[in-house]
Amino acid sequence: MNNQEIVAKLWNLCNVLRDDGITYQQYVTELTYILFLKMCKETGTEGAIPEDYRWDKLVSKQGIELKTFYKKLLEHLGTKCHGRVREIYQGAQTNIAEPKNLEKIIVTIDQFDWYSAKEEGLGNLYEGLLEKNATEKKSGAGQYFTPRVLIDVMTRLIAPQPGERCNDPACGTFGFMIAADQYVKDHTDNLFDLSIDEQEFQRTAAFTGCELVHDTHRLALMNAMLHDISGQIYLGDTLSNEGKQLNGYDVVLTNPPFGTKKGGERATRDDFTYPTSNKQLNFLQHIYRSLKADGKARAAVVLPDNVLFADGDGTKIRHDLMEKCNLHTVLRLPTGIFYAQGVKTNVLFFTRGEQDRGNTQEVWFYDLRTNMPSFGKTTPLTVEHFADFEKAYIATDRRAVQDERWSVFTRAEIEDKGDTLDLGLIRDDSVLDYTDLPDPIESCDDIIALLEESLGLMQGVSAKLCKLKAEGE
């Protein structure tokens, strides 16, 4: 049984819990508690779990005894253990009311062919489960889930290197950092050509994150553990003063949440130059300030369209970004790739300068939005859709690239437009035929003539009505 088949069977088990009123998100969290124990057994890493609370003890129970033991297990692991085990189970509670349902899930998991799963990688299995949850509309978890293909493209172009500190300040289930870790492994002979100290750095310090939502934080911890990453994943709000400690990074890869702070309050970070209630603008400030000012630290971040044109603080933040960083590329993403269909997004690629002024000289735009198919389950986004963009991005001479979707604006041109970055979209032939539009001057003359004709008719009708009224009297 391969990972895809296991994910499908795990997901179908959710149907068992419908009578218990379990949501999809609760189900995945519940699965995390149970899968952790099973995967520790399969990988021979049960050392951090007390012997009385390991998988074999859990699977030996039935009925009411099982439910009672399971609740005790969750509490013990979340309060008495240490390290990653305690982090995953801290505050854990079960939502499964019926003991038979709990038993069915545990027995089913125990019966899987785990040898095949281990061959494909337990981390990949878990990633598949998280992606299934995010792409299931009813779960509500995928509103801003970043498609795997987009994560991989962003990571490939940013190209994290061994020894670099990478961070995601809104890490969700840790997908960007998993991809960054895999990129480094793929390009360094799976780390075996690094020294022991360098390998330890990659495992324990190279990849870090911060996540606000407790249950999502658990999923991130589990995901990192299954990929042999033990870097710090903070439970907290990057936009609060807790976020001040997140700095000095070589690489930032992220898709921060969109919207405004609840109640419209301003950010609690007291070190932001331009405080605003707009989350994505605050995240943008945090990201470029968190990069090392060494001329090499770089970021790729998914942001909605309003970041490109918002006035007031938005204008000031874009100006500050282009002063402190070289904002060299903006990818205008297609619509429909996120669960929230109307969301229009972009990827901003930038490098922090050594100085805080004059770093952006020109910005290249790639329009992957206009005249593109409607993406969704029936038309998924694939790596082929990004092929031309990647060629343009890595081109030694960007001006030699022949692609109508590829355009450039100088810093002076952007300043003349009021520091807006809502640029680079090509003509949309599905909306208007630009070649058939009438001359604006002739069009105005036609409108004036039509209005004069209409006015004459109205005056005539009015005179006739007055005449009829007079004759009637």
CA–CA distance, 107 with 42 (Å, rounded to integer): 15
* Residue 234 bridge partners (DSSP): 210
Tokens 């019966």 -> residue: 111
**How far is the C-alpha of 240 from the C-alpha of 295, rounded, in Å?**
27
Q: For residue 38, what are its two tokens? A: 């099973």
Question: What pLDDT is attached to residue 142?
Answer: 47
Contact 295, 253 (CB under 8 A): no
Q: Which of 272, 257, 245 is nearest to 165 (CA)?
A: 245
**Top CATH class, 143-416:** alpha beta
The helix/strand/coil state of 83 is: helix
Residue 165: C-alpha distances to residues 94, 111, 146, 173, 248 (Å) = 36, 40, 22, 19, 8
The answer to whether 333 and 368 are in contact (CB under 8 A) is yes
Strands of 207-211's sheet in order across: 233-235, 207-211, 166-168, 251-254, 298-304, 345-352, 325-332, 362-367, 406-410
Sequential DSSP letters for 258-270: PSB-GGGPPP--T
321 contacts 303 by C-beta, under 8 angstroms = no
pLDDT tens for residues 108-167? 999 988 887 887 888 888 888 888 877 775 555 445 578 899 999 999 999 999 999 999
Domain ranges of the chain: 3-135, 143-416
**What was the pLDDT predicted at 471?**
62
- Judged by DSSP in three states, 278 sits in strand
Rg (CA), the chain: 28
- Note the residue count of the chain: 473
pLDDT at 22: 80
d(CA 106, CA 59): 7
Q: How is 315-354 classified by DSSP, letter by letter?
A: HHHHHHHHHHEEEEEEEEPPTTSSSSTT--EEEEEEEE-S
Q: Which two tokens stand for residue 319?
A: 């100006």
Amino acid at 144: Y
| Residue 231 three-state SS | coil
3-state secondary structure of 93: coil
Give 403's DSSP letter.
-
Ranges of residues in the chain with a pLDDT under 70 are 18-19, 137-144, 190, 260-267, 339-342, 428-473
By three-state DSSP, how is residue 381 classified?
Answer: coil
**Residues 393, 394, 395: CA angle, nearest 5 degrees:** 95
Same fold flag, 3-135 and 143-416: no
Q: Which CATH number fits domain 3-135: 3.40.50.1010, 1.10.287.80, 1.20.1260.30, 3.40.190.10?
A: 1.20.1260.30
